[in-house]
């Protein structure tokens, strides 16, 4: 172990690291490698045929588009919710704060059927949108609503701690010097929370692209229209088209890696911003 690890009096390094790598390889790494190998065994023409088929392209557009819109909605409302929870005291604040994590704890199938019930034509909210010609359930809007619910805690939980960092005396000083609330927001609050907002946005966006359970109930699942990429993989599997499923899975896996990389970059940037601000 020369140079591999620093000496320590504590025991169990070999055992715990050994078990960790074994379990990690068996459960996560080898299966993922199987997906990559399966895709690699396909011919280039077959691969392109599957991943660039019109149906696949339409599903990427929906998955990306709806995730993007949902992440943007969450950036705006996530900030408002985080601000309300950090800055104001009102009855029920603590319960509301605890409930923000609900989408993390609630099974996706439950949020899926519940959202469909609420936003369907005769649902509590759907019935008020219907007269205006707005259909949510079984359209791309429904997909967006589901992804908004799923992504909300990522933004709120990123922004909350950063709002506590905002220096209140600067706000007060600005106010006494005659700054408008909007000016204070733009020059003092926004720069402080921007890194957290960016990181929450990326997390919510990444989660949205892979989401399945909460979407399929409300989406309607029409090919070319309301079919998300994960669903297309499931359909390929049901047709026993393992190659097609693996190729699309590979594309999604590649997207996840890109998202993971961007999350790390955004968070590294955010940390630098915070360090710079403290100087």
Partner 1 sequence: MVGTTAISSAEVSRRPGRRTLSALLIRWTFIGLSLGFLAAVLLAPLAAVFTTALSEGMAAYLRSFADTDTRAAIRLTLLTAAIVVPLNTIFGVCAAWAIAKFEFRGKAFLMTLIDLPFAVSPIISGLVYVLLFGAQGWFGLWLLEHNIEVIFALPGIILATLFVTFPYVARELIPLMEQLGNDEEEAAMTLGASGLMTFVRVTLPKIRWGLIYGVILCNARAMGEFGAVSVVSGHIRGLTTTMPLHIEILYNEYAFVGAFAVASLLTLLAVVTLIVKSLIEWQASRASGN
Residues 38-57 that bind partner 1 (CB under 8 A): 38
Taking the complex as a whole, how short is the minimal distance between the CB of residue 257 and partner 1, in angstroms?
A: 8
- Give Cα separations from 144 to 136, 235, 246 (angstroms): 9, 21, 26
- Give Cα separations from 261 to 103, 256, 268 (angstroms): 24, 8, 11
Out of 111, 139, 162, 199, the only residue in the binding site for partner 1 (CB under 8 A) is 111
Nearest residue (CB) to partner 1, 124 versus 279: 124
Return d(Cα 230, Cα 232) in angstroms, integer.
5
Q: Are 19 and 212 in contact (CB under 8 A)?
A: no
C-alpha 141 chain-centroid distance? 17
108 part of the interface to partner 1, by CB under 8 A: yes
Out of 40, 113, 265, 268, the only residue in the binding site for partner 1 (CB under 8 A) is 113
Which region among 42-50, 106-114, 187-195, 270-278 touches partner 1 (by CB under 8 A)? 106-114
Nearest residue (CB) to partner 1, 3 versus 279: 3
* Token couple for 154: 């990522």
Return d(Cα 126, Cα 115) in angstroms, integer.
10
Nearest residue (CB) to partner 1, 175 versus 222: 175
272 part of the interface to partner 1, by CB under 8 A: no
Interaction residues for partner 1, span 203-262 (CB under 8 A): 206, 209-213, 217, 230, 233-234, 237, 240, 242, 245-246, 249, 252-253, 256-257, 259-260
Q: Are 107 and 212 in contact (CB under 8 A)?
A: no
The residue with tokens 């019109």 is 54
Interaction residues for partner 1, span 142-171 (CB under 8 A): 145, 148-149, 152, 157, 160-161, 164, 168
Out of 109, 173, 224, 277, the only residue in the binding site for partner 1 (CB under 8 A) is 109
Q: Are 165 and 92 in contact (CB under 8 A)?
A: no
Return d(Cα 200, Cα 156) in angstroms, integer.
7
């Amino acid at each position: 172990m020369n140079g591999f690890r620093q000496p320590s009096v504590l025991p169990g390094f070999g055992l715990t690291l050994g078990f960790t790598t074994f379990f990690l390889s068996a459960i996560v790494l080898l299966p993922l490698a199987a997906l990559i190998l399966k895709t690699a065994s396909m011919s280039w023409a077959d691969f392109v045929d599957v991943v660039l088929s019109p149906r696949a392209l339409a599903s990427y557009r929906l998955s990306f588009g709806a995730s993007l819109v949902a992440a943007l909605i969450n950036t705006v409302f996530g900030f408002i919710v985080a601000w309300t929870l950090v800055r104001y005291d009102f009855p029920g604040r603590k319960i509301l704060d605890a409930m923000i994590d609900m989408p993390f704890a609630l099974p996706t199938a439950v949020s899926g059927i519940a959202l469909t019930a609420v936003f369907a034509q005769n649902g509590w909210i759907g019935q008020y949108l219907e007269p205006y010609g707005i259909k949510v359930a079984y359209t791309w809007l429904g997909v967006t609503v589901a992804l908004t619910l799923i992504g909300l805690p990522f933004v709120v939980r990123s922004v909350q701690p950063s709002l506590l960092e905002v220096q209140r005396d600067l706000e007060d000083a600005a106010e006494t010097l005659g700054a408008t609330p909007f000016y204070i927001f733009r020059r003092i609050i926004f720069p402080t929370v921007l890194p957290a907002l960016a990181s929450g946005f990326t997390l919510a966006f990444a989660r949205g692209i892979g989401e399945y359970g909460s979407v399929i109930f409300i989406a309607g699942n029409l090919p070319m229209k309301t079919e998300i990429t994960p669903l297309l993989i499931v359909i390929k599997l049901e047709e026993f088209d393992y190659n097609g499923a693996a190729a699309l899975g590979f594309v999604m896996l590649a997207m996840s890696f890109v998202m993971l990389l961007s999350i790390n970059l955004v968070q590294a940037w955010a940390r630098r911003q915070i360090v710079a601000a403290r100087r």
